Structure 1
Amino acid sequence: MDRDFENENNDILPFKTSSSKDKAAAKIWVTASGKGGVGKTFVSSSLGITLSKLGHSVVIVDLDLSGANIHTVMGVKPSHMNIRHYFEGVKTLQELVIPTQHSNLSYVQGFWDSWSPIDFTMEQIQALIPQLHGLRADYVIVDLGAGALEPHLELFKAADEKFLVTSPEPTSIEKTYRFIEAFVCHTLKQDSTPESYGNMISTLRSHRQRTLGKPFSFRSFLKEETGLNYDFFESLTAKPVRLIVNSCRYQNHSELGYGIKSVCNKYYDLSIDFAGAIDFDNAVWQSVKGREHVLFAQPFTGLAGQFLTTCKQLIDPEELRAVV
């Protein structure tokens, strides 16, 4: 049975429903960053647009508490209905999905009408995850706020694909490492006793301050201190953190991801994936000013090709290899 849905202009749009038996659960792609200002929202929207152009239904969910602006990047007016209504129990998450003028692409408006501090609890995030999987879409792109807050890390951990966005600036690179460290610790915390977890944090701090008396292996440390064989590192090899370096101006910027990948492997025994480098392009901010996303305004730009390659590597690598 079809339902009607009201968009941000109060137009009544047809919206098809389907039972959970009719389709597989939506895949969740989460984009995060160690600090703000690295272009995380641009990456989130670009991944969503690219997947929609490939024929997949996509919902972009804005969970940036510090400044929801997916609607701005997408060039649409803010809706009077937003995700606040889900957390207040007024609407279901599906009822907050707003279609765009572009085929296969919808979004959930983030908090933009709150003038007091907002925060998520772990319980709220854990309850949200199955709701995200249940949205009527092939892919759900979640745009998180900046920083390694515990609710961010919990949602990042649950994602089918985890994108960590950085830029070539030193402050961004440093915060990227801190986010990765926090993610490792958060994931291990659920299987640790308070004593062993505290010891792990203390050892990591000593490692950072270069006060350990011998070379440090995070994986070996966990086994020696707890006697447990964690599968954390093996599972992240299957579903690794995908690093995206945004706003690359020079060749060494484009190669930065390989350096970060090497450091994570050497110091944390952690394998991450360098998903790609995105070039700096003045057309990005110009398109936001013109209220039309650059991938729609300039569909044949080099940026479009870079996001297309990244998406196809994840959803259809065999086809990409055939083309290459």
Structure 2
Amino acid sequence: MERDFDTTKDVVTNEVKAKKSAQAKADAQLWVVASGKGGVGKTFVTTSLGLTLSKLGHSVVIVDLDLSGANVHTSLGANPSHMNIRHYFEGAKSLQELVIPTTYPRLSYVQGFWDSWTPTDFSYNQIQNLIPELKKLRADYVLVDLGAGALEAHLNLFKTADEKILVTSPEPTSIEKTYRFIEAYMCHSLKENAAPDAFGNMITTLRDHRQRTLSKPFSFKSYLKEQTGISYTFFEALSQKPVRLVVNSCRSQANAELGHSIKSVCHKYYDLGIDFTASINYDNAVWQSVKSRTPALVAQPFTPLAGQFLNSCKHLIDPEELRAVV
């Protein structure tokens, strides 16, 4: 009996070791945070998600890819580093070598372009080479803070993410740019598997639809099904991993419910399903935290704001993997 027990124990121990080894070799989950325009709090949302995931016991690396204004370090209360992601693109350092620890347990970051005095943009090949390197970083989650707008490089990275998080604010200019980003993302994704003529006709039809010059009601998905030369399986794939919409800086109940309206519009006009993940309250503690160089969720960890990010993370990650908040 003792031998049988010992054998069983050894088998269980080996299974646990094998499971831990597999988990250690698994790629990091890649979350990409984007926005249609600047000034909507995208970096605040990214760093707050990172802090919350780290409090849940997960290791996190935030990668700053905002070419126009890299400030993840500012949001985390850190000084700019002389080592930044430029050194990766120039081949001087590996991406892992550029990971900088923070004072917060399990949370690190990669400094964005801080010392670039000339216009910088990513090429298609640079992004394609970067994606596997992001997933190889030693972390459970890698969060990428993109620059604002629907640039091709942004859309390439957004498309490959395990979680695609789109941040907007309740202002009309931001809402408009959010719709434009979604449209650009759809067209960019469909272009890969479309014949040039069919894709050109699709763009013309979408433009006519926006200008309300079509002679009959328009369903984007139905239109694609009727066409040859365009694959519409994009919609099925997106239903498995939808765009996650976050409405930031909500000052009223109407603001907080805006995500439902955007979701409804996307379904009505594009037959596109998106997920309204969270509405985040406007809080004076946010701009005060930047001034004090202490993240709002650290300075005031028990506010409704912190609870909203906690609920968002619980919504996005596997509930079975949740650990006690520390």
Identify the residue that residue 269 of structure 2 maps to in structure 1.
267
Secondary structure of the residue aligned to 1:102 is coil
After superposition, give the CA deviation of every residue in 1:138-192 in whole Å (9 maximum; x if it has no partner): 0000000000000100100000000000000000000000000000000000001
Contact 1:242–1:272 (CA<8 Å) still a contact in 2? yes
> Corresponding residue for 1:315?
317
Give the structure 2 partner of residue 207 of structure 1.
209
Corresponding letter in the other structure for 2:122: F
Gaps of 5+ in 2: 1-19
Matched with 2:108 is: 106
Distance 1:170 1:229 in 2: 33
Residue 17 (structure 2) aligns with: none
The secondary structure found in structure 2 opposite 1:76 is coil
Deviation readout 1:270-313 (Å, 9 max, x if unpaired): 00000010000000000110001011111111111000000011
Measured on the aligned residues, the alpha-carbon RMSD in Å equals 1.6
Q: What displacement does 1:225 show?
A: 1.9
CA distance 1:228–1:151, shift in 2 (3 Å): closer
1:222 is aligned, of 201, 205, 224, to: 224
Deviates more, 1:240-249 or 1:229-238: 229-238
The equivalent residue for 2:237 is: 235
**Number of residues of Structure 1 aligned to a counterpart in Structure 2:** 303
Q: Deviations over 1:75-125 (max 9, x none)?
A: 000000000000000000000000111110000000011111000011110
Alpha-carbon contact 1:81-1:96 (below 8 Å) kept:
yes
Cα 1:303–1:110 shift into 2, 3 Å: same
Structure 2: which amino acid aligns with 1:34? G
In structure 1, the residue matched to 2:286 is: 284
Q: Return the TM-score normalized by structure 2.
A: 0.90
- Partner residue, 1:120: 122
Give the match for residue 15 of structure 2. Answer: none
8 A contact 1:31–1:142 mirrored in 2: yes
Structure 1 residue 194 displacement after superposition: 1.1
Distance in 2, matches of 1:113 and 1:20, equals 39
Q: 2:180 aligns with which of 173, 178, 181?
A: 178
Letter in 2 for 1:241: V
Look up the match of 1:162. Answer: 164
SS of the aligned residue for 1:243 comes to strand
> Matches of 2:135 and 2:321 in 1, distance apart?
26
Q: Where do 5+ consecutive residues of structure 1 fail to align?
A: 1-17
AA aligned to 2:124 is: M
CA contact (8 A) 2:190 2:231 kept: no
> 2: CA distance between counterparts of 1:302 and 1:21?
33
Cα distance in 1 between the residues matched to 2:62 and 2:99: 9
* Aligned residue in 2 for 1:44: 46
Aligned twin of 1:73: 75
Q: Percent identity?
A: 73
Q: Give distance in 2, aligned partners of 1:217 and 1:109.
A: 43
Corresponding letter in the other structure for 1:190: E
Which one-letter code corresponds to 1:30 in the other structure? V
Distance 1:191 1:312 in 2: 34
Q: 1:189 corresponds to which letter in structure 2? A: K
Structure holding more helix per residue: 2
Tell me the SS of whatever aligns to 1:61: strand
Q: Indicate the residue corresponding to 1:245 in structure 2.
A: 247
8 Å contact kept, 1:196–1:226: yes
**Displacement over 3 Å in runs of 4+:** 18-22, 316-320
Note closer, same or farther for the CA distance 1:125–1:190 as it changes in structure 2 (3 Å cut): same
Counterparts of 2:77 and 2:303, CA distance in 1: 18
The 2-side partners of 1:233 and 1:188 are apart by: 10
